[in-house]
Structures are given as C-alpha cells and as structure tokens.
Structure 1
Amino acid sequence: MFSPMTLRIVMGEDDVLMREGIARLLEDAGFDIVARAGDAEDFSRKVRAHKPDVAIVDVQMPPDRTDDGLRAATALRAELPGLGVLVLSGHLEESYANDLLGDDPQGVGYLLKERVGDVDAFVDAVRRVAAGGTALDPEVVRLMLGRSRKKGPIHELTPRELDVLGAMAEGRSNLGIAEQLVVTENAVEKHVSRIFRKLELSDSLPTDHRRVLAVLEYLRTAR
C-alpha cells in the first residue's frame, strides 16, 4: 500500500474553483499534486510528462465538453500500465463506468463529484485506486444491481452475497463491508469464500486477484 506522502497526482478539471478545491483537499491529506489541467488535451500531456501514481479527471472537459475527460483517461490507462485513474462525474451515468472499466477494474475509480465532500471516503478512494483497487460510486453499484442480468454464475449468489459483492465493487475491505452491512467481519469472510466458490475462482489465486475477478464478473453480468 502506498503512503499518501509518496502519491503523485495530476488533476484535470475545467472549473477552477472545483479544481483548486480538490487539489487543496488532497494536499491537506498529504498527497503531492504535481500538475493541474483545465482541458482534456493538457491533462493528457501532463499525465504523460509526469507519469503520476493517480490521474484524477472530470468526465466532461473542454474542448468538446462531452466525455473528453473520460476518453482521455481511458486512452492513458491503456498507454500507461500501472496508472491509477479516478474519474469524477457531475451526474450518474452507468455507461461511463463501463467504458472506463473495460475488462480490467484494477486501479480504476468512478465517483460522483458530491462524494468529494466526504473527505475521508474520497481520500480512501484515491489510495485504493493507487494501490490497484477499485472505487465505484455506491449509486453506480446500486444501479447495476437493479438491472436485469444475463444468465451466469452471478445468478447462483444469494441476495446477501450480492450485497457483499456489490460492496466489493465499491472497493470496500472485508472490515468496511462488515461495517456497512452491520455484520461481523467473520461473516463477511464466509460470504466472500462462498462467492469465490460459486464463481469458480481457484484457491490457488491470490485473494486480491480473486476479488478483482469476482468484481469483473459482477460488472460484466450487470451490463
């Protein structure tokens, strides 16, 4: 796990007040903001130049103000293996999360901007993404849970196991899941083990790898 003091971040946000506010928040938490950008093209240039641990970017950026930031983040992620990417959005859009995640949810985050106000949770999301974890907005996860799913191993999971897997998709640890669901950590560990077994994830794989594969199966089925 990275220490926040070692984490280098490039920020991409066209709203000056929002950009400086987030940067100040992260600096106060001990992160190093190595560059700021107000449009998608400058953001891409600065990420390539500085090669930060995490790139944080707004979905809608100049020049087109559509999904320029998202497209830049997706391209940079493919170009720079190991780069953590955290995308911020002003409104809920499941397709944005799907486009960003692709076939590999490691080191990816998608959050609504309103989550920035919960400083501890936001800082934790940055750390998780830097460490190769996943940080999906709870509202996106809830939306995915409500969709009709394709047939697959996910259908074998109980409602409680789906709750656990949804929390895993948000990037929560077993302790975090236990606190969210108001159960013991031991109970969560048992649910996670059953999820791995039902999804046929081999015991020979590292636990962190199996968690990523389980989340990926969850997201694929929810699309």
Structure 2
Amino acid sequence: MTIRCVIVDDSERFRASARRLLTDQGIAVVATAADIRQALHAVEQEQPDVVLVDVGLGAENGFDLAARIRHSPVIMTSSLAPEDLTDMLEESPAIGFLPKEQLSGDAITGLLRAMSGAC
C-alpha cells in the first residue's frame, strides 16, 4: 500500500526537494502547502495517510497546525535540533519528529508503524 502524504513547509525549495525525495522512495506526495490555510484545505481534500509539518511556517507556527489536524497523523519536521523542541514536541499531538536532514520514506514508514503498534 502506498502512503499518501501532504508536505507543509514555508520553503518552496524544501517542498520541492522533499517531494522528489519521497516520491523516489515510494511515498505519494498528494499535495504541498506553504501555510496553515493551504494545509488545512489540502488535508481536507486529500485525506492523506500522514502530514509532514515544519515547526516554523514563516509567521505561523507548525504546532498550531498540528493541533488542528484531526484525521491524519502528523510528523513534525525542522532543521532545528530536536533537543531545542523537546517541550513543544511532548505537548504536540504529532506522532513523531524527523529532522529535515533525516527525512526519508523509511523514516516516515517507521513512525507510522510505531503509531499503529501503539494503538
């Protein structure tokens, strides 16, 4: 089964490179978004299996978006060190965190499997 993903990041360059990387690794990127409004619309329309959300969305906060996504698991991403985000990640409804440099189809699949096993 192919995992369907929405990528949310304010960097057009990151969205494009992440789309290429994940598509090459068998993840179907069904939409990308640059801000909360676009992201909520994409998630509603596409009903993805997972949503990758950047911690910082320009003037907006990715954790605010994660709290508003109800029916798709969220994985937070950032170029910031995970230890700088520990408290926010623990309070977040996200199923996990992936540093941007560690983004891969296998990492996403692993987090989704871990979530399924925890249920």
Whether these two folds match at TM > 0.5 is yes
* Segments ≥4 residues shifted beyond 6 Å: none
Counterpart for residue 95 of structure 1: 87
Partner Cα distance (1:99, 1:48) in 2 = 24
Task: Give the drift of 1:13.
Answer: 0.9
Counterpart for residue 101 of structure 2: 114
Task: Give the drift of 1:132.
Answer: 5.2
Contact kept in structure 1, 2:7 and 2:33, CA below 8 Å: yes
Partner Cα distance (2:114, 2:65) in 1 = 19
Partner Cα distance (2:74, 2:114) in 1 = 10
Q: SS where residue 30 of structure 1 aligns?
A: coil
Q: SS where residue 95 of structure 1 aligns?
A: helix
Of structures 1 and 2, the one with the larger relative CO (CA 8 A, separation 6+) is 2
Q: Is 2:1 the partner of 1:12?
A: no
Partner Cα distance (2:73, 2:113) in 1 = 8
Contact kept in structure 2, 1:85 and 1:129, CA below 8 Å: no
Normalised by the length of structure 2, the TM-score is: 0.84
Q: Is 2:57 the partner of 1:61?
A: yes
Paired amino acid for 1:127: T
Task: Give the drift of 1:131.
Answer: 3.4
Choose between structure 1 and 2: higher strand proportion.
Answer: 2
Contact kept in structure 1, 2:30 and 2:46, CA below 8 Å: yes
Normalised by the length of structure 1, the TM-score is: 0.47
Task: Give the drift of 1:49.
Answer: 1.4
Counterpart for residue 110 of structure 2: 128
Q: What RMSD in Å do the two structures reach over aligned CA positions? A: 2.1
Contact kept in structure 2, 1:88 and 1:110, CA below 8 Å: yes
Partner Cα distance (2:77, 2:50) in 1 = 13
Matched-pair identity in %:
27
Paired amino acid for 2:3: L
Structure label with greater radius of gyration? 1
Partner Cα distance (1:23, 1:96) in 2 = 26
Contact kept in structure 1, 2:26 and 2:105, CA below 8 Å: no
Cα deviations across residues 120-156 of structure 1 (Å, max 9, x unaligned)?
xx3222112333528xxxxxxxxxxxxxxxxxxxxxx
Contact kept in structure 2, 1:88 and 1:111, CA below 8 Å: yes
